[in-house]
Amino acid sequence: MKTLNVELGDRSYPIYIGRELIDRAELLARHVSSQQVLLLTNATVAPLYLARVNAALGDRRIEQLILPDGEAYKTLDSAAEIWDRLLERRFSRNATLVALGGGVIGDLGGFAAACYQRGIPFVQIPTTLLAQVDSSVGGKTGVNHPRGKNMIGAFYQPLAVIADTGTLCTLPDRELSAGLAEVIKYGLIRDPAFFEWIEANIKALVQREPEALAHAIEQSCRNKAAVVAADERETGVRATLNLGHTFGHAIETGCGYGTYLHGEAVAIGTCMAARLSHRLGWLGYDGVGRIESLLRSAGLPTQLEPGQLSAGRMLELMAVDKKNVDGKLRLILLEGIGTATLPLEIDSATVEATLTEILSS
């Protein structure tokens, strides 16, 4: 087992990465100190891993809550269901919420934990690659609004992240690829050596070779932990973690949650950001080619299907983004492979021209 730390003063916490960690009672006991535990998961993950986590939690008052699966359930209604259950069972302020699942369960569970009685202890057990390399680390929690992704939420750090890489063996291929989009992101924004390592090892990653996956998860978490420690509340460098996400969130909202997986939308959005960076003269054409080729090798889409969204509609949707200031569009772009810009105000005519070119090609 590898242990990394997210350094946030008295709210610092460990990320454990290794196989069969969900069975380790002593690991859970280190971070779950309450008798009352709400174990939150979804209908897909429950039959696979719920009993094992339940057993490892031992002799406590465990309330299981199994939600339907899907991004469409990352809503305020689902959060209300969690709060209803906590209240019905008279869970007190020291009760722990354990979120077992992908990013949807982690984001939703974290948000519910942040609000219940103004904040209860919370532990993340991520079971998708995307959640293990990104969403479970850093304390961004929240739900979607019909008008925009992740628009309602809170910064709320977990007490620990327990990433059991063994759980990835049941993950569908498409979900594995979606996670690789975020792995590639770290290489692109701040770690060129890691980008080259991913290029050299992409086949091993797609074929789920355990050593390659473990290295990718560890290096991704190392990058994420460093960025979060430097800028927990996203006043600066943390925004670079959103490379491709402004486009990606617009794609998710515009095509309907679930049409593209989050990681797929991010992959298409990353290609859009790369093309725009090229148009502005910052990223060479060879750089754009390397990015598109790596994403394709990871099994990811690099462009929208014809007719799915117009450039105008994309811009309209991108106007609802948390990085925007005073209603002006701000984007993370690339100055090269391994260097991202901070959010930049980009003239919407330039963005529209780039999108029109991409969407008509």
With CB atoms as reference, the residue minimizing the distance to ligand GLY is 241
Q: Number of C-alpha atoms within 13 angstroms, CB side, residue 196?
A: 4
Q: Number of C-alpha atoms within 13 angstroms, CB side, residue 325?
A: 8
Q: Is 241 near ligand GLY (CB under 6 A)?
A: yes
Q: Which residues, in sequence order, are CB contacts of 256 under 8 Å at separation 6+?
A: none
Q: Is 104 near ligand NAD (CB under 6 A)?
A: yes
Query: What CA–CA distance (Å, rounded) separates 76 from 86?
Result: 15
Does 215 participate in catalysis according to the annotation? Answer: no
Gyration radius from the chain CA atoms = 20
Q: Is 167 near ligand NAD (CB under 6 A)?
A: yes
Report, in this order, helix, strand and coil percent for the chain, each rounded to 5: 55, 20, 30
- Which residue among 36, 128, 270, 302 contacts ligand NAD (CB under 6 A)? 128
- Show the site string, 19-58: x = touches ligand GLY by CB under 6 A, - = not: ----------------------------------------
3-class DSSP string for 127-140 = CCHHHHHHHCCCCE
Does 89 participate in catalysis according to the annotation? Answer: no
- Which residue among 96, 124, 127, 177 contacts ligand NAD (CB under 6 A)? 127
Does 262 participate in catalysis according to the annotation? Answer: yes
Q: CA–CA distance from 311 to each of 6, 17, 214, 221 (Å)?
A: 39, 41, 39, 34
Of the pair 188, 283, the CB lying nearest ligand NAD is at: 188
Q: Is 138 near ligand GLY (CB under 6 A)?
A: yes
Q: CA–CA distance from 47 to each of 28, 100, 168 (Å)?
A: 20, 12, 15
Catalytic residues: 118, 140, 182, 224, 234, 238, 242, 245, 249, 262
Chain residues in the site for ligand NAD (CB under 6 A): 42, 44-45, 48, 69, 71, 74, 101-105, 107, 127-128, 130-131, 134-135, 138, 140, 149-150, 167, 170-171, 175, 178, 262-263
Chain residues in the site for ligand GLY (CB under 6 A): 134, 138, 140, 238, 241-242
